[in-house]
Structure 1
Amino acid sequence: MATLPLRTLFGTLLALCCMHAGYSLSPEEREAARSVMERTVPALKAVPGKLKLEAVKQENGCDVFETESSGGVLTVRGSSGTALCRGFYDFLKTNGLGMVAWDNKDIRWPARIPDTPRRRVASPFRHHYYFNAVTYGYTMPYWTWERWEREIDWMALHGIDMPLALAATEGIAVRVWKRLGLTQKEIDEFYTGPAHLPWQRMGNLVNHDGILNDNWHRDQIAMQHNILRRMKSLGMKPVCPAFSGFVPQGIRRLYPEAKLHRLGWGGWPQKNAAHFLSPEDPLFLHIGSLYMEEWQKEFGKNTYYLADSFNEMELPVNTDDPKTRDQMLSALGEQVYRSISSVNPDAVWVMQGWMFGYQRHIWNADSLKALLSKVPDDQMLLLDLAADYNKTFWHNGMNWDVFKGFFNKPWVYSVIPNMGGKCAMTGVIDFYANGHLEALESASKGKLAGMGMAPEGIENNDVLYELVTDAAWRDRRENVEQWLENYCRARYGACPDSLKTAWSLFRSTAYSNLKDHPRFNWQLKPGARSSSVDASEDFLRGLALFVNTEGLEHSPLFRQDAVEMAVHYLGIRMHEAIQAALEALDEQNPEHAEKCMARFREYALQADALLESHPTWRLSRWISFARAHGKTGEEKDAYEENARRLVTIWGPPVNDYAAKLWSGLIRDYYLPRWEHFFQNRLKDKAPDMEAWEEAWVHSHGVSPARRPGDIIRACRQYVREAKPLPLSLKGGGSGSAIGNWTPAEVSTEWKWVAWPVSPDDLKNLRGVRFTYTSGRHALEIEQVELVGDGRMIDGRRHAGLAGKPSRENCYQLSLPEGVHANNGLLIRAKVRTVGGNDSRGKIELLKKNG
């Protein structure tokens, strides 16, 4: 009989003991957790006896960790691999020994760790959820396994045990389509380029910006094997894809009688609209079951499966008839569940709940109750994605109250700290610290089972993610001021008074309110004037204080954050320069306009140079991820173009959504785009911005970079020198102008002219005014419309004139309650000039409080 190695024998005995005692930690999880810790602190590998990992029981089905250190030995106990990692990270942060960020860290592990008493933490939640379906577009579409491995380590350290795992969704679906008999052409027309796949998966659009070939599918299937293997080794419960009802148009050829609904989203052309298979059609269950079979054949059995059918879309029934609507929703819920459970009876259907708050005109207590009515309570999990939006932005009541505790279905409290991977600082920091307590203490909490976060894009606003992941392991109120001080000590090694003051200022400015889409005006289509980034004097003062804090220059995380703070500061000065340049154009002062643009260019290139030292905020990094997946030069170019499109024009009709503060993107896209616009306007020409943008998307590579030698010194110098514009260059405008017209845009024939508007302006918008400024000819206005997400929100039609004199030149607009414009907002008007096109003027917003 062979003798087992001592390590294997010990592991087997430990596993048996843990099973007998009711512990959930397996030896595999323990060793996977140790590997995470050793990758985080490589010094641990050289002295294995200094780290002991032990099992501890869960409390009420929730994970627990304990830490204590004595004689230079750290003991971490946990009820799962993830709990062990969270305990280890908690020890690091609590004792000021370091912090781990995305693709960067600052670890200060001493030769001998301090002795600490036993610390025990039990989470109040069974699940700790992470990711949004669209994070797979705005951040992760082209990640390599090396980047995924670092992300899973980050998840484990932050206590995440329920991540969304959607790689290879299409590789499995293609097998189903081929089994059904669809042609390759029919399959290709169904899909988008890789960066746009999240919206294809949710049925928002099809057939956009590229196709997927066999190389892509093989790559993603191999990636998903690695992802799932690593996640499960740590005791995580990944959420994998299921069939949501969207099918290629070619299904009509194979099944002429199939009941299909063509759905639209955000004003996209009909060729991009998805086909939704009615849940009442038997084919729905057949395709859903085939998908599950193929998935399990490739990846094995899983427990949690995601299916989202109506993300930001209207229902394919008459919503004015509640009975018809509820019958359809009931059938849909039953069929989605059956398509999963018919193959895997233990499976749990997971559904994102973004639309529950975003589309209250569709989703009310009755419609959601109908959807859930035929699904067993313990085999569904609802993700209440946007508690922060309900509370601090929409102010429309918490979903667990509106939907009566989600009708006995388990659910996860979650927040969306970011839209599109935007880099600008925003969010109510006090809410992220303690908002979950309202759910825990609510009489309507029902089967509250977890807490999570669903950012549309990551690698930004690190403080919010540290705060939320800490909160998910706490059921008591946090002192935010003390937490911020501890955060700085863990992140940088100290918290000088200047840093405390800076964070106090951030907490009362940028981090005191949630901006849905924080973007500078120069990140929007040229002509845009308003910015949704905090530009207050207190915020500027906080940024300068942070950058000029001394004694922390050795910390890689301080250097990273100093770059971000300096770029925010320069971004505000860039916004001021653009605003003044546009007003100079209004006043027909080309000399001042060019001086303002020179100032904009100076600040833009400084910001870009600083960002070259940032670990993640670089266009070159994004493009290198995309090109790495191509097997041929043609594939590499196609992936790069798809990646470039997503972070810039996106569609159209979606435009400038992601708004990244990236090196390369500033110097190669934002800056030259505005310069192209201004040079044309100075010549009284109408710039063809769409052609310029498309040409950039189809270009390749990044221009040579400029990087300062001493990054902290450069940050301080640029902030010190970036003064407000002198009074001689500041325009005299009221700040309410959103655009203007010149002879280049108008003619004696009726035509539509459009001007971009910031979604932030929606709250106080009551109309627009056309103000003539100069020229020999007046402007006639026939119709004005406010367009959001590709659809008309409101419009007014009457004959108006902007000239000398003007008459009826104001157009009142009325906004429906709860209206949103996530994917773009503009004012457009049907206009013509009288007797010739020598006419100039500006369009001003009329505000409710103005």
Structure 2
Amino acid sequence: MLLASLHAFAGDMEKNREREAARAVMMRAVPALAGTPEKLNLEIIEKENGHDVFETKSSGEVLTIRGSSGTALCRGFYDFLKKNHMGMVSWDNKDIRWPEQLPDTALRRIVSPFRHHYYFNVVTYGYTMPYWTWERWEREIDWMALHGINMPLALVATEGIAVRVWKQLGLTEKEIQEFYTGPAHLPWQRMGNIVNHDGTLPASWHKDQIALQHRILHRMKSLGMTPVCPAFSGFVPQGIRRLYPEVKLHRLGWGGWPQKKHAHLLSPEEPLFLKIGNLYMKEWQKEFGKNTYFLADSFNEMELPVNQGNAEARDNMLSSLGEQIYRSISSNNPDAVWVMQGWMFGYQRNIWNADTLKALLSKVPDNKMLLLDLAADYNKTFWRNGMNWDVFKGFFNKPWVYSVVPNMGGKCAMTGVLDFYANGHLEALNSSSKGRLAGMGMAPEGIENNDVIYELVTDAAWRNHQEDVEQYLENYCRARYGNYPDTLKEAWGLLRRTAYSNLKDHPRFNWQMKPGTRSCSVNVSEDFLRGLALFVNTRGLEQSPLFRQDAVEMAVHYLGIRMNEAIQAALEALDEQDQENAEKCMDYFRKYALQADSLLEGHSTWRLSRWIAFARSHGASTKEKDEYEKNARRLVSRWGPPVDDYAAKIWSGLIRDYYLPRWEHFIQSRLSDKNPDMGTWEEKWVRSTGISPAHRPEDLIKACRQAVREAPPLPASLKRKAAKSVIGNWTSATVSTEWSDLEWPVSSADLEKLRGVRFVFTSGNHALEIDRVELLGNDKVLVRDQHAGLAGKPSRGIFYKLSLPKGIHANNGCSLRARVRSVGGKDSNGKLELVKE
């Protein structure tokens, strides 16, 4: 009797805690509520079959929200807010129009079709969140609660706990430091992609991150969320060999990184694997208390450390690894569930098939595993390789989460299929192969972009019926800005038919990529330009903070297309050694780049100054602050190398201080017949500190409209009828009479239907001799053609065949590399043309 009473008391306390935590979220979202708390009535009710539910009703000036958790209450409040066109909350911005008198509304009851509402990607902790402070985290958790997220990934302080384990084992400080990367690159260290890259982690970092994680977990759990926390995935410092000389380690390479930065995976057959996993869980729970869900990823975009041809050995290794990871997670917590990201299930079908995945899962109890089917949008609209729940037979009775990856690298450019994000989950819900579908979520690599997609996906997760996307966009705009004028309706129609009608893997302008790149992967159609202009010139919404933010994004996309045109024309002028026109094109590029940069100074998040301020806020000394700034700069620029220009942010500061001067350096070097040596230039910028002064327009909307009005297409006199297939050239500044490798960037979009490359001699007294040509993807050779060739007089062109096997991806970039030399002297100029089917 007493025990039952205690349980009931504890349950009431938990309900009270979640209710008041939810109330606090609502007060922060709508400060006007603080003056009339009696007009907000919140009640906790039971879940329906384990799924969250909320009810809303407004009557007699009192809004009543009943929800099955703190998160469900917040979702109900936000649903009421949007349904009645009272406002919308973005990440660092919002537009709230709370009325003096609440309208009476009928009872609205919504039951989620999913148990779990998942959020985040491991790499979001690099591309967006590595240096966040508690203030920014608090806003993010509020955003999660309002959008109905109840299962966020919570990886802060992963290393702070691991360092304790390494020290208990006897590793030295040097051996530990050599294992880790700078903070912005930690996601890839956690997944075993790289080690020892761009910085170290001082003790002050671990102390601050552990304190931050306490606050994060406390707030998440106070709202009824079930966070997914880190576990041991098998990666160990190389120094472990000093302590255990006979231990078996697998060296895993990724993306062409040098061997010294390769991770070591501890063989699952080693007793040490379970020992380290146990120690990690023990230390984590000692610091943060009990948790249920723990993430461990061991083969992100990597080959298996076993002969693929030996199916028995391969499957034995995988089943052993799965068993050991689960045992290490559950040894100190029998209720623990292993969570695993499933990006590789669609990305590496050459490795992951029904047999290999079944082997990995075979020794893990069904109810102790949760698979994140990370990228259903890629399966459906980009790879078109079938849905994973069909290919993997409902994931072999393991619970799983339907998820999408609406962003790569935190890139800002618009992309994605709105109709799919609205209704794609219905295919999973209604599939005969859905098995134990348990949740829906999204795993963007970076956030604070493409707001419409995040609203669409989080709303869809609370719905099990078809959505009319045209009607949805009207409701979206009325909630977001307060109205839906005809010009805005027409603009959204155009945006939906262009940029938001297809998914670009890595949407980047050419000026965001390695200098010399010509093509881009952003929609540059006339209809898209018209949609952007119509949006910016919509009247009557100027007072909305979210309209001002979105108008800046639209205007900058417009200018970005003009910048793209100018760069393309400048490179075409270079092909013909036309210095005058190349310089004129660069004048246009500079004008539009500085305009775009100025507009972005008025954006709430798209600013390099904000990114660097977050990084420097963590340093305990000037030296540490400079190191953190360097690491933050590297991630949004060089990244590696060998990974280059992956994050591709459209940010103020980054445009005026990096993209613009980088291209000017490249073009001027080429005009002066010099090798631009971009690597040295880029590294100098990465290691610099501070940002140049900026100008923000007083009237943002006026400035946006003026910028669009004064950015017509490039004059016809500067455009040439150059083949769109040209990807680069060679000049006397880049070739030598000795054999050397030249490399040119290639857009991943160019891989489709690729047949080969043609070297076309254009001028000079000396021919170019070619030994071999290679196409590289993720810094690995995808295909090679080796034979002697000569581009020059009288033979002006030579062809190299590059037929790609199906299913090839270049997620981290691709390029063309040729071994060449000039014959008899360096006076040789020419261009390279891709040849497609």
TM-score normalised per structure 2? 0.99
CA separation of 1:114 and 1:687: change in aligned 2, threshold 3 A: same
Matched, 1:469 2:426: no
State the Cα distance separating 1:58 from its structure 2 match: 1.3
Task: Quote the residue 1:39 is aligned against.
Answer: 28
Cα separation, 2, equivalents of 1:531 and 1:805: 34
Please point out which of 365, 371, 376 is paired with 2:354: 365
Cα separation, 2, equivalents of 1:808 and 1:465: 49
Task: Quote the residue 2:639 is aligned against.
Answer: 650
Alignment map for 1:632-651 (pairs within 5 Å): 632-651=621-640
Matched, 1:66 2:55: yes
Cα separation, 1, equivalents of 2:614 and 2:7: 40
Please say if residues 611 and 632 of structure 2, whose CA atoms lie closer than 8 Å, have aligned partners that are also in contact.
yes
CA separation of 1:19 and 1:288: change in aligned 2, threshold 3 A: closer
Matched, 1:343 2:351: no
Please say if residues 761 and 797 of structure 2, whose CA atoms lie closer than 8 Å, have aligned partners that are also in contact.
no
Alignment map for 1:397-416 (pairs within 5 Å): 397-416=386-405
Cα separation, 2, equivalents of 1:699 and 1:209: 14
Q: What is the CA deviation profile of residues 391-419 of structure 1, one whole-angstrom value per residue up to 9, with x for unaligned ones?
A: 00000000000000000000000000000
Task: Quote the residue 2:805 is aligned against.
Answer: 816
Alignment map for 1:711-730 (pairs within 5 Å): 711-730=700-719
Q: What is the CA deviation profile of residues 515-560 of structure 1, one whole-angstrom value per residue up to 9, with x for unaligned ones?
A: 0000000000110001000000000000000000000000000000
Cα separation, 1, equivalents of 2:682 and 2:753: 31
Task: Quote the residue 1:263 is aligned against.
Answer: 252
State the Cα distance separating 1:113 from its structure 2 match: 1.1
State the Cα distance separating 1:815 from its structure 2 match: 0.9
Q: Secondary structure at the match of 2:584?
A: helix
Please say if residues 15 and 27 of structure 1, whose CA atoms lie closer than 8 Å, have aligned partners that are also in contact.
no
Please point out which of 285, 293, 306 is paired with 2:274: 285
Please point out which of 587, 600, 624 is paired with 1:611: 600
- Aligned amino acid, residue 125 of structure 1: F
Unaligned runs of 5+ in 2: none
State the Cα distance separating 1:762 from its structure 2 match: 1.1
Q: What is the CA deviation profile of residues 764-810 of structure 1, one whole-angstrom value per residue up to 9, with x for unaligned ones?
A: 22111111111111111110000010100001011111112227711
Q: What is the CA deviation profile of residues 592-617 of structure 1, one whole-angstrom value per residue up to 9, with x for unaligned ones?
A: 00000000000000000000000000
CA separation of 1:378 and 1:752: change in aligned 2, threshold 3 A: same
Cα separation, 1, equivalents of 2:80 and 2:269: 54
Cα separation, 1, equivalents of 2:746 and 2:112: 44
Matched, 1:172 2:155: no
- Aligned amino acid, residue 576 of structure 2: E
Task: Quote the residue 1:431 is aligned against.
Answer: 420
Matched, 1:89 2:78: yes
Relative to structure 2, which stretch is displaced further, 229-238 or 795-804? 795-804
Alignment map for 1:565-584 (pairs within 5 Å): 565-584=554-573
Q: Secondary structure at the match of 1:133?
A: coil
Q: Secondary structure at the match of 2:831?
A: strand
Q: Secondary structure at the match of 1:414?
A: strand
Please say if residues 759 and 797 of structure 2, whose CA atoms lie closer than 8 Å, have aligned partners that are also in contact.
no
Please say if residues 630 and 686 of structure 2, whose CA atoms lie closer than 8 Å, have aligned partners that are also in contact.
yes
Matched, 1:233 2:261: no
Please say if residues 15 and 26 of structure 1, whose CA atoms lie closer than 8 Å, have aligned partners that are also in contact.
no
- Aligned amino acid, residue 656 of structure 1: D
State the Cα distance separating 1:812 from its structure 2 match: 1.2
State the Cα distance separating 1:13 from its structure 2 match: 11
Please point out which of 221, 236, 241 is paired with 1:252: 241
- Aligned amino acid, residue 263 of structure 1: L
Task: Quote the residue 2:409 is aligned against.
Answer: 420
Task: Quote the residue 1:743 is aligned against.
Answer: 732
Cα separation, 1, equivalents of 2:799 and 2:579: 28
Cα separation, 1, equivalents of 2:650 and 2:777: 24
State the Cα distance separating 1:354 from its structure 2 match: 0.3
- Aligned amino acid, residue 432 of structure 1: Y
Q: What is the CA deviation profile of residues 102-130 of structure 1, one whole-angstrom value per residue up to 9, with x for unaligned ones?
A: 10000000111111000000000000000
Task: Quote the residue 1:8 is aligned against.
Answer: none
- Percent of pairs identical after alignment? 77
Please point out which of 364, 368, 375 is paired with 2:364: 375
Please say if residues 623 and 643 of structure 1, whose CA atoms lie closer than 8 Å, have aligned partners that are also in contact.
yes
State the Cα distance separating 1:25 from its structure 2 match: 6.8
Q: Secondary structure at the match of 2:508?
A: coil
Please say if residues 25 and 79 of structure 1, whose CA atoms lie closer than 8 Å, have aligned partners that are also in contact.
no
Alignment map for 1:833-844 (pairs within 5 Å): 833-844=822-833
Task: Quote the residue 2:611 is aligned against.
Answer: 622
Please say if residues 732 and 827 of structure 2, whose CA atoms lie closer than 8 Å, have aligned partners that are also in contact.
yes
Cα separation, 2, equivalents of 1:442 and 1:77: 32
Q: Secondary structure at the match of 2:786?
A: strand
Please point out which of 677, 694, 704 is paired with 1:705: 694
Cα separation, 2, equivalents of 1:103 and 1:32: 20
Please point out which of 310, 317, 336 is paired with 2:306: 317
Cα separation, 1, equivalents of 2:67 and 2:465: 21
Matched, 1:103 2:103: no
Please say if residues 619 and 662 of structure 1, whose CA atoms lie closer than 8 Å, have aligned partners that are also in contact.
yes
Cα separation, 2, equivalents of 1:766 and 1:190: 42
Cα separation, 2, equivalents of 1:321 and 1:441: 37
Please say if residues 377 and 408 of structure 1, whose CA atoms lie closer than 8 Å, have aligned partners that are also in contact.
yes
Please say if residues 41 and 62 of structure 2, whose CA atoms lie closer than 8 Å, have aligned partners that are also in contact.
yes
Cα separation, 1, equivalents of 2:809 and 2:170: 41
Task: Quote the residue 1:664 is aligned against.
Answer: 653
Q: Secondary structure at the match of 1:425?
A: coil
Q: What is the CA deviation profile of residues 292-326 of structure 1, one whole-angstrom value per residue up to 9, with x for unaligned ones?
A: 00000000010000000000000100011111110
Alignment map for 1:127-142 (pairs within 5 Å): 127-142=116-131
Please say if residues 300 and 344 of structure 2, whose CA atoms lie closer than 8 Å, have aligned partners that are also in contact.
yes
Task: Quote the residue 1:79 is aligned against.
Answer: 68
State the Cα distance separating 1:628 from its structure 2 match: 0.1
Q: What is the CA deviation profile of residues 395-450 of structure 1, one whole-angstrom value per residue up to 9, with x for unaligned ones?
A: 00000000000000000000000000000000011000000000000000000000
Cα separation, 2, equivalents of 1:17 and 1:513: 53
Task: Quote the residue 2:761 is aligned against.
Answer: 772
Please say if residues 567 and 610 of structure 1, whose CA atoms lie closer than 8 Å, have aligned partners that are also in contact.
yes
Cα separation, 2, equivalents of 1:229 and 1:17: 20
Please say if residues 735 and 826 of structure 2, whose CA atoms lie closer than 8 Å, have aligned partners that are also in contact.
yes
Please point out which of 128, 135, 152 is paired with 2:141: 152
Q: Secondary structure at the match of 2:184?
A: helix
Matched, 1:389 2:378: yes
Task: Quote the residue 1:118 is aligned against.
Answer: 107
- Aligned amino acid, residue 449 of structure 2: N
Q: What is the CA deviation profile of residues 40-95 of structure 1, one whole-angstrom value per residue up to 9, with x for unaligned ones?
A: 00111111110000122211110000000011110001000000000000000000
Cα separation, 2, equivalents of 1:141 and 1:302: 23
Q: What is the CA deviation profile of residues 615-661 of structure 1, one whole-angstrom value per residue up to 9, with x for unaligned ones?
A: 00000000000000001000000000000000000000000000000
Q: Secondary structure at the match of 2:301?
A: coil
Please point out which of 575, 586, 593 is paired with 1:597: 586
Q: What is the CA deviation profile of residues 568-615 of structure 1, one whole-angstrom value per residue up to 9, with x for unaligned ones?
A: 000000000000000000011100000000000000000000000000
Please point out which of 479, 486, 490 is paired with 1:497: 486
Cα separation, 2, equivalents of 1:517 and 1:601: 24
Q: Secondary structure at the match of 1:806?
A: coil
Please say if residues 18 and 55 of structure 1, whose CA atoms lie closer than 8 Å, have aligned partners that are also in contact.
no
Q: What is the CA deviation profile of residues 696-717 of structure 1, one whole-angstrom value per residue up to 9, with x for unaligned ones?
A: 0000011000111110000000
State the Cα distance separating 1:17 from its structure 2 match: 9.0
Cα separation, 2, equivalents of 1:16 and 1:62: 21
Cα separation, 2, equivalents of 1:216 and 1:566: 39
Please say if residues 654 and 823 of structure 1, whose CA atoms lie closer than 8 Å, have aligned partners that are also in contact.
yes
- Aligned amino acid, residue 215 of structure 1: S
State the Cα distance separating 1:209 from its structure 2 match: 0.3
Cα separation, 2, equivalents of 1:479 and 1:824: 36
- Aligned amino acid, residue 405 of structure 1: G
- Aligned amino acid, residue 814 of structure 1: S
Please point out which of 190, 196, 206 is paired with 2:185: 196
Matched, 1:564 2:553: yes
Task: Quote the residue 2:508 is aligned against.
Answer: 519
- Aligned amino acid, residue 474 of structure 1: R
Cα separation, 1, equivalents of 2:731 and 2:356: 50
Cα separation, 2, equivalents of 1:667 and 1:807: 40
- Aligned amino acid, residue 190 of structure 2: R
Please say if residues 220 and 226 of structure 2, whose CA atoms lie closer than 8 Å, have aligned partners that are also in contact.
yes
Cα separation, 2, equivalents of 1:13 and 1:43: 39
- State the Cα RMSD in Å: 1.3
Cα separation, 2, equivalents of 1:730 and 1:808: 24
